Chain A
Amino acid sequence: MKPIIELSDVHFRYPGATENVLNGATLSIEQGEFLAVIGGNGSGKTTLCKTFNGLIPNYYTGDFSGSIMVDGSDVSQMTVSEMSFRVGYVYQDYENQLMRPTVLDDVSFAPLNFGAPDFMEKALWALETLGIEHLKDQSIWQLSGGQKHLAAIAGVLALDPQILIIDEPVAQLDPHHAKEIYQRLKVLQEDFGKTIIVIEHHTEFIADFCTDVLLVDQGKVLWKHPVRQGLLQIEDLVKRDIFPPQVMQAALNCEIPLDSSDFPMTIADAQKYFHGLQFIEKESESDRIVEKKEQIASLENLSFSAKTLSNERKTILNKISTSFHAGERIALVGTNGAGKTSLMKCLTGMNKPTSGGGSIGSHSFEKGSLEKLSQEVSYIFQNPEEMFIQDSIKNDLTFFSQSRERDDSSFIEKLIQSFRLEEVLEKDGRLLSGGQQRRASMAIGLATNPTLLMLDEPTASLDVQSRKELIEILQEMDSVATALVATHDMQLVAEWATRVIVMEQGEVTFDGTPREMFDYGHVWKRAGLVPPQIVQLSIELGMRPAALSVNEFTSRIKEGVPDGVC
C-alpha cells in the first residue's frame, strides 16, 4: 500500500488570527483506509482535513508552511477545483452544501460545472451507489435530515473522488439513521476502494466501522494507530474528553485481571469477553417507588394535522392523551418524523390542535396564545440561534421580564451564575461556541420561570465536554421545572430520564420508565430506536433487567471471572 495523503510539518494560521491552528502536523494515510480523526474542541481537526482538498492553503490564504502531497501531487500547486476530483468534502452543516432545488440537480451540479458530457450518468451512479435513486426528483427542502446527508455525500461522490472526508457524519441523526450512513460509507470503502476520513467522537461508531484512528492535539498529530490500539490509549483520550466505547469502559471498570490485548470494542467482542458471568437481579419495581406528584398539565385526545404541498391534510399527531407531573424528567423519543417536535409545538401554542386539546395551569392548548402559554411553558429550539432575538445575551435573558415590566433581576443573576454566562453577557449569541450557545439558550428558556421546560434535541452536535455539562444542568433541573426533552440520544434517556414516551407516526406507543422500555425489545425495535451499547450488551448477556449505565453493569457482576478472559 502506498500513502495517498502525506503531510509533513504543516503550519497554518488563518488570516487575521494571532495563533497557529496547525502546528507542525505530520501524517501519512494509506489508500483504502477508513480513518477516524479525533481530538478535543479547537484542536484543529477540521482545519487539518481542509488541507487534504487544498482549501488550505489555496482558498484560505493565511500563513502556511510545510508540504501536502495528495495522490502524488503537491496540493499547494493545484487549484481547489482540480483537487475536487480527488477529494470530496462533506461539511458538518451539510444542509448548506446543497444548493440546487432537487436531488438530481444537486448531485449533478459538480459534474455539470466541470462540463462532463455524461454528468447525468455520473449523478445517477452516485445516487445508486448510496441507494437513494428513489429520491432523485424530490425537492431538497422536503427531505429528512438523514436523506439530506446522503444527498450531500452523493453530490461529492458524483465526481468519483478517491478520498471522501465527512465532518461529523452522525451529529444530527437518530441512531438508526446514523448506522445506516456508516454502513453506506463502509460499502464505499470495501467495495469501491475509497479512502474514507471521518471527524468523529462517537467511539462506538469508530470501533464498529473504522480501521484507523488519528488523534489531533493543538494543531499536531499526536499519533495514528489501527483502531484497536488507538482506542486503548485511554489516558490520551480521556484527557481530551473522548470516552472509549461503553463495553470497553465496562471491561476497564471490572476488578478482574485483564489482558488488554483482547479488550472488547464491539458488542460481539464483549459478548465473548463477558460470557458466563452471573449478574445480580435487580427489582425493576425499585424505580417505581417515586410517588406521583402534583399534576401540572394534561392532554386529552390531542390531534394535529397540517396541509402538505399537494393540498392534502396529513395527520401528524393522532389522539394523544397523557399528563405531566411536577418534578418528572421526561424523554420523548422516536425516529425523525414521529411527531415529537409537533407535539411540543402544540404545547407552546405554535401549533393549534385540530381536535382535542388539554391545559396547563389556567391556559388551554386550544385557545391559549403563545404569549399566554409562555407563562407556564418554555420551549428551547433545536438550533440555539433561534433563541437569540436581541443583540446580547443579557438582553435576551431579560426580554421576558421586561416585556412584562417585572423585576426579576435576582433570579436572572442566579441563572447567569449557574450557567456560567458572566463572560458572554454582552456578546451576541451567534458569536458564541456551540457549548456556550446551548447553555445560553437554556438560561434564556428558564428565564421565563416555566413550570414545563421543553428542549428539542439538546445534545445534538455537541462535543463530549459540552454534552456532559448539559446533562449536569439537566440533572439539577428537577426542583425548578418539569423537563420534557425530545431526543435521539439514548444514553441521555438511560442515564437521565425517569419517564420515556415513545412516539411512532403521531401516536404514543409506550409510556413508562427507561428500564421498562429497554426491557421490552419489541417497543424500541418497532419505534426504530437503538439502545446504548451497554444496554444492548446486557440484553445479549441475558441480564434482567438490563443495566442502564456502565457503573450499574459492573456493580451488578457477581463474583467470578468471565470465561473469555482466562
Chain B
Amino acid sequence: MEFVERFKKSFNIEWVKLELLKTAYGKKETYMGQLDPRVIMIWYLIVSLLPWFTFNFVILLGLAVYTSVLALITRVSPLIIFLLAISVIGELGYIFIVVFFMGGDFEAYASLVTLTLKIIIMSIASIAAFASMDPEKLSDALLSFGIPAQFSFAVSYGYRMLPILMDEYQQIIQSFRLRGKAPEKSGFLKWKLIYYYIVIVIKAFYPMMLNTAKRTRTTVEALEVRGFSYSLHSEEAKKQKLSHLKIKGKEYQFIAVSSLILTMIHIAGHFYYI
C-alpha cells in the first residue's frame, strides 16, 4: 500500500508536465546534444532504416543494444521510457494472444517478434535523436535540409506552445473537477472513478482548443509585424539563421565511430546467423 501511496504522490499531472518540459527544454549537455543537429538527423535516418534490410536476429539485437546505449547516454526522461516500455509490452502480449488463438506455433511468434524488434530499434533511435536536440536545433536542421520555413517554424512554435497548452489543459480539467461530482462508490477496481476521469479528460479537450485558438489571433498578427513572412522569401535571412551550424572535429569523430560500430554489427551478423 505504501508503494501505491508513493506512486500516487509522484505520478500525477504535474509530474508528467515537468517530465515533458524537461525533455523539450532541459539543458542539452549530453554527448549527443552537443553535436550538429544535421549529423544527428542523418544518423537517425540511417539507423532507423537499417533494420528493414535484414532478418538477421543478431544484427537486430546488435542495433537494439547500440541504440539503447546511446539513449542511455542522452539521459532520456523516465516518463518517455515508461511509455515506450508499456507499448512494447502491450505489443508483445497482443502478438502472443493473436498467435495463441490463431493456432500458430513458435515460428510465427518469432517472426512477429522480429518485426517488433525492428520497430523498437526505430523508436529508441528516435528517442535518442530527438531527446538530444532542442526544438530550435531540430527546426534549424530541417530548414537547412531545404524544408520550407513555414514547416520548420511550426516545429519550434509547437514546442513553444507545449507548456501553454498543458497549463491550459490542466486548468480546464481542474475547472471540471471543481464543479463536477466524483462517483460516491468507486466500484470494482475503481472503474467508476477511472471512467469519471476519462470522461473529463476527453471533455476538457474542446475548451482547451477553443481557448488556445483564440489566443493565436494575436500571434498571427505579430508574426506579420515581426517580419516572419518577409523572412520566408529572403535568402539572406535564412543564411543568418543557419550561420551557427558547423561541422567540426566532434562531428567527424561521431560519424567515424558510428560507421565503425554499425559495420562491426553487420560483420558479426554475417558470422553468427540465428
Contact = CB atoms under 8 A, between A and B. Distances in A.
A461 B163 CA distance: 23
B236 A115 contact: yes
A115 B231 contact: yes
B228 interface: yes
Nearest to A403: B181
A374 B174 CA distance: 11
Contacts of B224: 55, 59, 80-81
Given A55-B221, A96-B222, A389-B175, A140 B160 contact: yes
A155 B219 CA distance: 13
B226 interface: yes
A503 to B, nearest CB: 22
A114 B227 contact: yes
Interface stretch (A199-207, A242-250, A379-387): A379-387
Interface string B229-255: 111001111111100000000000000
A371 B163 contact: no
Interface in B60-77: none
Contacts of B164: 141
Interface size class of A (residues with CB under 8 A): 35 or more
Nearest to A82: B230
Contacts of B178: 348, 350, 370-371, 374, 378-379
B190 interface: no
Interface stretch (B19-27, B45-53, B121-129): B19-27
Contacts of A500: none
B25 A101 contact: yes
B160 A112 contact: no
Interface residues of B, number: 58
Contact of A113 (B18, B26, B177, B230): B230
Q: Which of B218, B222, B235, B238 gathers most chain A CB within 10 Å?
A: B222
B25 to A, nearest CB: 6
Contacts of A115: 231, 234-240
A430 B235 CA distance: 41
A89 B225 contact: yes
Contacts of B227: 81, 84, 110, 113-114, 159
A373 to B, nearest CB: 8
B203 interface: yes
> Most chain-A Cβ atoms within 10 A of its Cβ — which of B21, B26, B211, B230?
B230
A182 interface: no
A81 B229 contact: yes
B240 A399 contact: no
A53 B225 contact: yes
B204 interface: yes
Nearest to B159: A101
A156 interface: yes
B103 interface: no
A255 B226 CA distance: 53
A388 B207 contact: yes
A99 interface: yes
Interface in A91-134: 91, 93, 95-101, 105, 109-110, 112-117, 119
Contacts of B226: 84, 97, 99, 109-110, 113, 155-156
A465 interface: no
Contact of A97 (B25, B180, B219, B236): B219
Contacts of B175: 381, 386-387, 389
Contacts of B191: none
A412 to B, nearest CB: 13
A262 to B, nearest CB: 42
Contacts of A96: 215-219, 222
B156 interface: yes
Q: Name, among B178, B222, B231, the residue most crowded by chain A CB atoms within 10 Å (CB to CB).
A: B178
A293 interface: no
Given A84-B225, A96-B222, A112 B181 contact: no
Q: Which residue of B26, B160, B168 has the most chain A CB atoms within 10 A of its CB atom? A: B160
B96 interface: no
Contact of B219 (A55, A99, A109, A369): A99
B135 A386 contact: no
A97 B222 contact: yes
Interface string A146-161: 0000000001100100
Nearest to B135: A101
A306 interface: yes
B34 interface: no
Interface string B9-25: 00000110010011001
B22 A309 contact: yes
B228 A113 contact: yes
Best-buried of A81, A116, A389 by chain B (most CB within 10 Å): A389
Contacts of A141: 163-164
A538 interface: no
A99 B174 contact: no
A448 interface: yes
A402 B21 CA distance: 37
A400 interface: yes
B182 interface: yes
B135 A114 contact: no
* B135, B160, B222, B225: residue with the most chain A Cβ atoms closer than 10 Å: B225
A80 B221 CA distance: 10
Given A113-B231, A117-B240, A374-B178, 18 more contacts: A59-B221, A84-B225, A89-B222, A91-B222, A93-B215, A95-B215, A96-B216, A96-B217, A97-B226, A110-B227, A112-B237, A114-B234, A371-B181, A371-B182, A389-B203, A399-B179, A403-B179, A448-B179
15 contacts: A81-B230, A93-B218, A96-B215, A99-B157, A101-B136, A101-B159, A113-B237, A114-B231, A116-B240, A141-B163, A370-B177, A371-B178, A371-B181, A389-B203, A400-B179
Interface of B: 14-15, 18, 21-22, 25-26, 134-136, 156-157, 159-160, 163-164, 168, 171-172, 174-182, 203-204, 207, 210-211, 214-219, 221-231, 234-241
